[in-house]
Each structure stands twice: as structure tokens, then as C-alpha cells.
Chain A
Amino acid sequence: AQSVSQHNHHVILSEAASLELGCNYSYGGTVNLFWYVQYPGQHLQLLLKYFSGDPLVKGIKGFEAEFIKSKFSFNLRKPSVQWSDTAEYFCAGTLSGSARQLTFGSGTQLTVLP
């Protein structure tokens, strides 16, 4: 089945540390990939998206992600995290198979210690 997976369930970092959150998808066809962030008590916000073209995508709040087709990955990175980045991060994808609907990974809770 087509799926999106996140293997880091909870990541704890100190402020100024670098961040990389893993995301893998299981489909070899056309994919659109997204990273969403959900701050405590708030709605899902789009951080960045990849449709096609340059595999290095820059998003809001200093986040970026790299689409590596050979590894079926779309990892999220930030060179220096802040306490305010504490949130749940969801990778999601729309895959060109029969489903063609947005599928979410299980999420990664990021806690940044001041």
C-alpha cells in the first residue's frame, strides 16, 4: 500500500542545535510531498511543499527539505532550532496511485529545550 512514514516519534534538542526529521514514502510514481507543523492547540500549517523541479525546497521559518527520489525520502532540516519550534511535525504526500489523496505520516513531536 502507498504510505508515508516517519520513524522519529519524539525528538528532543537544545536551542541552536541542528534538526533533521526523517520522512519516507513507499510509492515509485509521481509524488507531491509536504511538511506540516502543528503548534500546541493550533491548526496544521504548511511549512513547505515539493511538486517538481529543484529537489531542495525552502519553506517558512528557516526550514528546508530535500527530495531524494532514489531514497524515497523527503527529510526536513533546520540549521538552528529555537524554543518556539516545539511542535508536532507531519510529513504528508499525495501519491499518483489510485488513492490520490493526502496521506500523513505518524508525526514527530519536537521538543526544544531552552
Chain B
Amino acid sequence: DTEVTQTPKHLVMGMTNKKSLKCEQHMGHRAMYWYKQKAKKPPELMFVYSYEKLSINESVPSRFSPECPNSSLLNLHLHALQPEDSALYLCASSQATGLWTEAFFGQGTRLTVV
């Protein structure tokens, strides 16, 4: 199983809503990532978890709150988002962080903030 599964595939939310994105992998990977991708742009790293601990936060606004409940799951909690936060949110995992490892990406959640 080399899949990273993300749910939901599409999400429309209002600026006052609270929602969560979920990501799951069963490859035994100990590093998990959240990326944000705008149309026609490359993915931008948001957060990195290594062994279930947050190791990198790329200056992401606090309205995005990551959580790693266990080694297979990664959540992204959303609250009070802005329309400019509309994007494709990608989850990825790898055996470890850094060199000598490749990342596997999920299909993404396409988020629209209205």
C-alpha cells in the first residue's frame, strides 16, 4: 500500500466555519507534511511532523492548526479562513525527513472559502 488518503476531496466553507482536513497513510512513514498549492503554482510547504512532533511551521497563520494524533494520521484544523486561503491542500508522507527519502502525496483536498 503506497497510498496517502485525504478526506474530504472537496470542501466549501464559510469564513466563520470550523472544519478539518484529514490525511492517513499506512506505509509506516514517520514524517508527514501539509502543503498548499494554488492554481498553476508549485506546492508550498506549510508544516512538517517528524515522529508525531511538529518540526517545521513555515510561518503559517494560526487559523491553520495541524495535529498528528498518531503515526498514521495527520489533521489540519481550519478556523476563520479567508477567501485567499482557497487552494488545493496536499498531504504527503515519507520514511523520514531530510535526504535519502521520497515523499508520497495524497490527491489533495480542494478547499473553497466563501
Binding site for B on A (CB under 8 A): 30, 32, 34, 36, 42-46, 49, 51, 88, 90, 94, 96, 100-102, 104-107, 109
Min Cβ gap B10→A in Å is: 11
Q: Is the CB of B105 within 8 A of A44?
A: yes
10 closest cross-chain pairs (CB), A and B: A104-B42, A43-B107, A44-B105, A100-B98, A43-B105, A107-B42, A32-B99, A94-B99, A49-B102, A104-B43
Interface class of chain B by DSSP:
loop
The answer, among B41, B45, B100, B107, for a CB contact under 8 Å with A102, is B45
Number of interface residues of B (CB under 8 A): 21
Q: Is the CB of A44 within 8 A of B102?
A: no
Given contacts A34-B102, A51-B100, A94-B99, A44 and B43 within 8 Å (CB-CB): yes
Given contacts A43-B90, A43-B107, A30 and B99 within 8 Å (CB-CB): yes
